[in-house]
Amino acid sequence: MLDMTPKEIFERKALRINPAKTCQPIGAMYAALGIHGCLPHSHGSQGCCAYHRSHLTRHYKEPVMASTSSFTEGASVFGGGANLRQALKTIFQVYDPEIVAVHTTCLSETIGDDIPSLVKKAREDGIVPDGKYVIHANTPSYVGSHVTGFSNMTTAMVKYFSEKNGGRTSAINIVPGYVEPSDMAEIKRLATEMGLEAILFPDTSGVLDAPQTARFSMYPKGGVKVDALKKTGSSRATLSLGKFASEAAGALLEQMCDVPYQCLDLPIGISSTDRFIEALIEFSGQTPPATITDERGRVVDVMTDMLQYFHGKKVALFGDPDHVISMTEFLVDLGMKPIHVVTGTPGKYFEHRIKKILDGKVKHANVRAFSDLFMLHQWIKNEPVDLLIGNTYGKYIARAEDIPFVRFGFPILDRIGHSYFPTTGYRGALRLLEKMLDAILDRLDRDAPESSFELVM
């Protein structure tokens, strides 16, 4: 399909081809699903909501519930206030959620609908029942990416729910970033193993990886509860995992409620997980239990045993910025050489952080934020790589250039299991090692002459 991608590179300022991102409302919808009893609401046309639900459903292989204001020509001209009022009335009468999380779309943002005023009037008119909540985030698709939308909705959780009561609890807040439900469960497990009470928000574990029970549940048992969100303003500290997806919520909590925050890289790979565990040690005052140190030891053992297959391999990597930053560091720890690194999300910090990781370890690397897969493909044509890592859309480049490919990040539409097996923590690092090693060794087997086709490595 991409065989005709030209090798000669022309700089482009106003055009993206195969952008390495999707739009804000998808991230906002995913974050909203991490609140227990929450129904995400798309304030725009039916088509927008259908696309966002479909994309999440295809990734998680789970039905994603959301509602829409169903804009038509009239709403596009006169505004969507009447549509939102009718939607909220129907939602609470028919679906009875605890919370409706409204996110905007390109259309409603262009019109300029004042969501807080519309919701306030709906509450005054009795459309929003007592004891129920409506929160909102502005998420125009023409700004940022799905990571930005996730950040905006997570920040809205702080804005609407966090309360300062003058006291301090022993709990810590953890904003996990745009990761899988299994990753959120793994992050909670590590905090619990360290003897900490953690309020994780949002939390999609138990929502988008819920078990099959033969009974339909509109609102699965997972997700952070409103009572816990209200307590975040009394926690002693916040750990924001990932600058792009999580730092804004931590910063707002500090501003609103004087809860100090620390922003760390996503705990993907050995070094970033070490820093996460070190932060948990500071908060708990405890040494890591044997369960955690043993997990780390297994990762180091595999890294040591398989170093000869990783060392010196050139890698092309793309995806969400927080994921790519931590994954780049992990690849460097393995002795690999990430020479082409791309994210579709804008932000100068990405390029600065990647270059700092590669400094002194990779002599020359192409690093670009707010770029696309067309550029990545051209870089690969000019300097081939031994491994490509990224979401499902990378399979076309991998096929065109005959490169081993490891699926990593969001979205993964053509495989299953990614939402059930974490890539965070030491357990996640072990899984990533397995996936990369399998891809590399499968290629060795495919290309080996009969005399080198070995049964044992």
Which tens digit of pLDDT belongs to each residue from 227-267?
Answer: 999 999 999 999 999 999 999 999 999 999 999 999 999 99
Residue 1, pLDDT score: 65
Sheet containing 314-318, strands listed edge to edge, beginning at the edge strand earlier in sequence = 366-368, 337-342, 314-318, 387-390, 405-407
Residue 299: per-residue pLDDT? 98
pLDDT in tens, 31-42: 999 999 999 999
Joined together, the tokens standing for residue 313 give 């391999």
pLDDT digits 0-9 by tens, 379-405: 999 999 999 999 999 999 999 999 999
CA dist 84 and 374 (Å) reads 39
Q: What is the pTM of this model?
A: 0.96
The values of phi and psi at residue 195, to 5°, are 80, 25
Query: Among 70-84, 94-108, 257-271, 285-299, which is the least confidently predicted range?
Result: 70-84
Domains of the chain plus CATH, in order, are: 24-161 (3.40.50.1980), 172-290 (3.40.50.1980), 292-451 (3.40.50.1980)
Mean pLDDT of the 409-415 span:
96
What is the band of 74 on the pLDDT scale with cuts at 50, 70, 90? confident
Give residue 305's Cα distance to chain centre. 31
Per residue in 155-189, pLDDT (tens digit) is 999 999 999 887 899 999 999 999 999 999 999 99
Strands 366-368 and 261-264, by their bridges, are: unpaired
Write down the H helix ranges in 178-289. Answer: 181-193, 226-231, 243-257, 270-284
pLDDT category of residue 137 using cuts at 50, 70 and 90: very high
Average pLDDT of every residue of the chain: 95
Residues 6+ apart with CB under 8 A from 131: none
